[in-house]
């Protein structure tokens, strides 16, 4: 399992795609687990940009905004690689868009359980997460709980992962494990 | 071109000036710089032994966005005329996605421009606590 982290506009998505493609054998199944829920035009554009990035790389998209382990039901058995994008949306969806607000501890536990299952059931798993920790702002209680949950989840994912890579201005900086691929430039 | 990035107040400019022990340099502040392509702008100050440094690059991008300009294209045109320069920028994408649409777009565009610059750069340095790590070159 590879954990890829980075900020907005860091190039983490395209790097994570390259990693997933390079890990997967040709002809083997590649799944893109999409977590984003679309509410407006900006969301639509964001998704269109990501789709364009993925085009021609052979990913099958599975929309799974919550309960990430359920995506396994949509996959064919056998050798398969999954790219999950991203933990920040998944956490927000699990925390805020259910019928009721779910506690930070519960969300953390559910997400780690779900990703542990994905890791066990796939040949390669690439997980994209977001650095939301360095703007120095103090937000309302719910947002601070969200940031805290993201921090705990990232730490636990880093323990599960064989490799952790931070993407900075499009450049992969290795945090844990060996170098996987070079940036394409 | 060398690109230097890092968080706010990490000592990026001091690091650049001390590391390279530049004999002579001229530092342009992105917060005050308007048209980067103007004839009396940064490239008019370069010389065989004089390095042009663009500091607070992210603030220049912000200004140009506010004026409805295309900083993505302007900086590439600038680099054609001033290839041997240094660009210093804050990393601004590592936080909660802002509610304000302009702020969201600003973070996203600064990120994308920095990726482009990093691809063109001979060296990319990331400065934390006044210490630089070379992440490219």
Query: Which residue of B71, B93, B105, B113 to mutate against A (max A Cβ within 10 Å)?
Result: B93
| Contact at CB, A7 and B3, closer than 8 angstroms | no
Cis peptide, bond prior to residue A86, ω within 30 of zero:
yes
Q: Could you write out the DSSP letters of every residue in B105-118? A: HHHHHHHHHHHHHH
Give A169→chain B minimum CA distance, Å: 4
The pLDDT-based confidence of A44 (bands split at 50, 70, 90) is confident
DSSP strand pairing (B24-29 vs B50-55): parallel
- Is residue B127 classed as helix, strand or coil in its secondary structure? strand
Could you tell me if B75 lies within 8 Å of chain A, comparing CB atoms?
A: no
Reported confidence tier of residue B18, pLDDT bands at 50, 70, 90? confident
For helices B57-66 and B71-81, the axis angle rounded to 10 degrees is 130
Distance from CA of A136 to the nearest CA of B (A): 8
Task: Confirm if B135 and A173 have CB atoms less than 8 A apart.
Answer: yes
As a whole number of angstroms, the distance between CA A92 and CA A99 comes to 13
Please check whether residue A36 touches B, CB under 8 A. Answer: no
- Residues A164 and A1: their CA atoms lie apart, in Å, by 9
- For residue range B84-137, what is the model confidence (pLDDT) as tens digits? 999 999 999 999 999 999 999 999 999 999 999 999 999 999 999 999 999 999
Residue A161, SS3 per DSSP: coil
Q: Higher confidence at residue A181 or residue A92? A: A92
Whether the per-residue pLDDT at A121 is higher than 80: the answer is: yes
Cβ-Cβ contacts under 8 Å, A131 against chain B: 93-95
A25 or A178, which is more confident: A25
The answer on pLDDT for A185 being more than 50 is: no
In this predicted structure, the answer to whether residue A181 has a pLDDT above a threshold of 70 is no
Whether the CB of B68 is below 8 Å from some CB of chain A: the reply is no
Which is more confidently placed, A136 or B112? Answer: B112
Q: State whether B94 and A133 contact (CB < 8 Å).
A: yes
Chain A residue with minimum CA distance to B111:
A9
Q: How far is CA B112 from the centre of its chain?
A: 13
The answer to whether A170 contacts B94, with C-beta atoms less than 8 Å apart, is no
Q: What is the pLDDT of residue A182?
A: 58
Measured between CB atoms, does B114 come within 8 Å of chain A? yes
**Chain A nearest CA to B40, separation (Å):** 30
> Is pLDDT larger for residue A180 or for residue A4?
A4
Residues 21-60 of B with CB under 8 A from A: none
Average pLDDT over residues A36-61: 86
A116 token code pair: 């542990």
Across A103-130, average pLDDT: 96
pLDDT score, position A15: 95
- Interface test mutation site (partner A, options B92, B94, B111, max chain A beta carbons within 10 A): B94
Whether residue A105 has pLDDT greater than 80? yes
Say if residue A106's pLDDT is above 70: yes
Residue-wise pLDDT tens digits, A91-103: 999 998 767 778 8
CA distance A86 to B101: 21
Q: What is the phi-psi region of residue A166: left when phi exceeds 0, alpha when psi lies from -120 to 50, beta otherwise?
A: beta
Given this model, what pLDDT does residue B95 score? 95
| Shortest CA gap B103–chain A (Å) | 12
CB contacts < 8 Å between A and B, how many? 79
Give me the mean pLDDT over the A60-74 stretch: 95
Question: For the CA atoms of A50, A183, A121, A157, what is the dihedral angle to 10 degrees?
Answer: -90
Interface confidence (ipTM) of the complex: 0.90
Interchain contact B129–A (C-beta under 8 A)? no
Query: Quick one: what percent of chain A has pLDDT higher than 70?
Result: 96
Which has more pLDDT, A57 or B67? Answer: B67
Reported confidence tier of residue A164, pLDDT bands at 50, 70, 90:
very high
Q: Is A133 within 8 Å of chain B by CB?
A: yes
Q: Which residues of B19-37 are buried (b: 16+ CB within 10 A; e: fewer)?
A: eeebeebebbebeebeebe
The mean pLDDT of A146-156, rounded to a whole number, is: 96
Q: Cβ–Cβ of B117/A137 closer than 8 Å? A: no
What residues of chain B lie within 8 A of the CB of A10, using their CB? 93, 111, 115
Q: What is the pLDDT of residue B50?
A: 87
């Amino acid at each position: 399992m590879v954990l890829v982290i980075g900020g907005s506009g860091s190039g983490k998505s395209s790097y994570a795609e390259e990693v997933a493609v390079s890990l997967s054998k040709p002809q083997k199944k590649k799944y893109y687990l999409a977590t984003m829920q679309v509410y407006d035009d900006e969301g639509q554009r964001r998704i269109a940009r990501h789709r364009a990035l993925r085009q021609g790389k052979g990913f099958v998209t599975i929309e799974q905004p919550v309960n990430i382990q359920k995506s396994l039901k949509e996959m064919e058995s056998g050798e398969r690689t999954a790219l999950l994008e991203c933990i920040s949306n998944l956490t927000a969806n699990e925390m805020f868009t259910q019928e009721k607000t779910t506690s930070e501890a519960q969300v953390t536990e559910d997400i780690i359980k779900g990703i542990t299952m994905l890791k066990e059931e796939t040949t390669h798993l690439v997980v994209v997460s977001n650095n939301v920790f360095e703007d120095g702002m103090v937000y309302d209680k719910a947002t601070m709980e969200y940031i805290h949950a993201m921090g705990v989840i990232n730490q636990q994912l880093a323990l599960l992962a064989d490799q952790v890579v931070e993407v900075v201005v499009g450049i992969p900086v290795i945090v844990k494990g060996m170098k996987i691929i070079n940036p394409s430039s | 071109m060398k690109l230097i990035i890092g968080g706010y107040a990490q000592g990026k400019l001091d690091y650049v000036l001390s590391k390279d022990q530049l004999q002579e340099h001229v530092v342009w502040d992105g917060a005050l710089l308007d048209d980067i392509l103007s004839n009396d702008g940064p490239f008019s100050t370069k010389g065989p032994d004089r390095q042009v440094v663009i500091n607070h690059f992210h603030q220049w991008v912000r200004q140009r966005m506010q004026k409805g300009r295309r900083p993505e294209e302007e900086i590439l045109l600038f680099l054609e005329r001033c290839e041997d320069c240094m660009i210093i920028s804050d990393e601004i994408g590592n936080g909660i996605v802002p509610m304000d649409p302009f702020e969201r777009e600003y973070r996203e565009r600064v990120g994308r421009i920095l990726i482009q610059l990093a691809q063109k750069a001979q060296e990319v340095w990331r400065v934390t606590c006044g210490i630089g790590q070379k992440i490219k070159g």
